[in-house]
Amino acid sequence: MLGNLGRLMDPRPVSKFDFFPVHFDGTNDFLLKTGGFDGAADGSTGLISFWCYPSENDAYIYQDLDGKVSISYAATGQFAFLFSDSAGTASFSMQTVGGYPVENWYHVLAAWNTNFSIGNKVAKIRVNDTSTVAVADPSGPFNINYASGANIRIGGPLSSRYEGCLAQLWFGQNQYLDIDVESNRRKFISAAYKPVYLGESGELPIGVAPILYLNSFPESYGINSGIGGNLDINGTFAHCGEAPPLALPPSGGGDEG
């Protein structure tokens, strides 16, 4: 409902399918959720989808400052995910096999389940609808520490702040879909590699709103249409100046099925 309110208060035209790419300046712009997301609970599964147009690499897109959950665009151009338990003794990471150059639109869709033995955890990443994943799995089954994130930043810390455009950041903690199944991917990206409507609160892909769904105008970008509570805006976000997102079709490598 907060997402609806933010759009209703804005005089610009609104269609059923709203898509709001927002630009991060790489210096001042980030979102902060102090004390972690409302209702967050530890668990083994997760599902995330977002569109991005990075201008620089070596930056965090999502970071729990306790270091238990992070999503980054690495210096090598890889999208990397790191998870650990509340004690910091069990960990699991996955990343794309190759790097992705700056100044292109990418749709990143990932799913995981850490409730499996060493070497057997579920790790799935799709970039522009193509499968690409490498895994480091040194621990036994564990729950990811979603609940105790003291401060969560969208856009990263000053030393590794994200620069570029971001849209439709959808994060379902303790949610899972098998993204190797094409019909599940179509809940987030069309067969023509374009964005799709996720619902006002992001409820359409799995039937309930995720803990985080960001899809609003720059001045109200901290409004979380998911269930985890709003985030504080730091800096001054701007509209993305790049063309409307169209992911690049797969070009060799990976499983396109």
User: Are 237 and 29 within 8 A, CB to CB?
Assistant: yes
Residue 153: other Cβ atoms inside 10 A: 23
Instruction: Please report, for the chain, the start and end positions of each structural domain, with discontinuous segments joined by +.
Output: 2-237
- Beta-ladder partners of 165: 23, 53
pLDDT for the residue 8:
30
User: Are 241 and 252 within 8 A, CB to CB?
Assistant: no
Per-residue pLDDT of the chain (257 residues; tens, 9 = 90+): 333 333 333 333 334 467 889 999 999 999 999 988 999 999 999 999 999 999 999 999 999 987 799 999 999 999 999 999 999 999 999 999 989 999 999 999 999 999 999 999 999 999 999 999 999 999 999 999 999 767 899 998 888 999 999 999 999 999 999 999 999 999 999 999 999 999 999 999 999 999 999 999 999 999 999 999 999 999 999 999 877 666 666 543 334 44
pLDDT for the residue 255:
41
C-alpha separations of 77 from 97, 125, 217 in Å: 10, 15, 27
pLDDT for the residue 44:
98
User: Are 225 and 3 within 8 A, CB to CB?
Assistant: yes
pTM here? 0.89
Cβ neighbours for 21, distance < 8 A, ≥ 6 positions apart:
51, 53, 165, 166, 167, 239, 240, 242, 244, 245
Domain 2-237 fold is Jelly Rolls (2.60.120)
Cβ neighbours for 20, distance < 8 A, ≥ 6 positions apart:
167, 215, 216, 217, 218, 221, 239
The amino acid at 16: K
pLDDT for the residue 241:
85
CA 112 to chain CA centroid, nearest Å:
13
Strands 22-25 and 122-127: unpaired
3-state class percentages of the chain: helix first, strand second, coil last, to nearest 5: 5, 35, 60
